[in-house]
Structure 1
């Protein structure tokens, strides 16, 4: 027998094993909880599908505008950033109104898409800035269009991956 911190003998309480009926009830409760989670995920996916079809192209265009503004003179840079910020805020508001879902709050996140989006925006912003401010102004709209299209495609891929997560195509593997 072991001693506790004071030196007194520590008594061990006997552990009782759960009865088979109790274990079966726990398994049924766990299965019911998993079914409820799958049902709510499917409901969220269905609500997300009510989002406007033009969401992704407009998102890409606003990202392209943001990148375009990086290569413009200071006054136009500020205008581009403000218009992009207002547009992205309005786009999120329209999405919330149509679907009832607030973007970016507690949603499951498909892995692998955010790093690409950040990389595209970061590289494009740097390229646009250097093109616009160091001698290749025609490169600015090219970079902006490429970034906008890439953001549009990544946004669509994000939606597809999120639908796959929400619609439980991976849940079947967890239940086995």
Structure 2
């Protein structure tokens, strides 16, 4: 235990200059992270297409849904891996209140879209009506996704994102 610090004796508190320097470094790191969390133009349309495909598979008859659903579900992690490899970063959770609200709104829309699709599947409604919730899911991903990303970047860069 005595050698844990390799002879360095830590000061009990940083000096005011050290504290200011550490805070400036943190602010620069926040700004750098926010700049790296950039979503390419193709990300949200691709995500919307995957969501629409997942929604459509829920209304399709069994053989078609059994083939297309795994393909669609594979698209979600593949999109994340592609993004992570290209940009070297992935933010898995909302950074503050605005991004959290947009994230929750997107989840609510997607749950409602899947519920509407199940209504199509479990009733005598024609399968073509599954295109309506699929379109809503696509539009939600394409519209709410960039709003979420913008809020996420702003909150990552902010000094007090949870305020």
TM-score range, shorter chain: 0.7 to 0.9
Structure 1 position 88 matched with structure 2 position 76: yes
- The 5 A counterparts of 1:102-121 are 102-104=90-92, 108=95, 110-121=99-110
Q: How many positions carry a matched residue from both structures? A: 148
| Unmatched 5+ stretches in structure 1 | 1-21
- CA RMSD in angstroms comes to 2.5
Q: Which residue number in structure 1 is paired with residue 28 of structure 2?
A: 39
Contact 1:127 1:143 in 2 (8 A): yes
Sort the Cα spacing of 1:107 and 1:132 in 2 relative to 1 into closer, same or farther, 3 A.
closer
Contact 1:67 1:128 in 2 (8 A): yes
User: Residue 55 of structure 2: SS of its match in structure 1?
Assistant: helix
Q: Structure 1 length as normaliser, TM-score? A: 0.73
Where do 4+ consecutive residues of structure 1 move more than 4 Å? none
| Unmatched 5+ stretches in structure 2 | 1-11
- TM-superposed deviation, 1:171: 4.4
Q: Which residue number in structure 2 is paired with residue 5 of structure 1?
A: none
RCO higher in 1 or 2 (8 Å CA, sep ≥ 6)? 2
Rg (Cα) greater in structure? 1
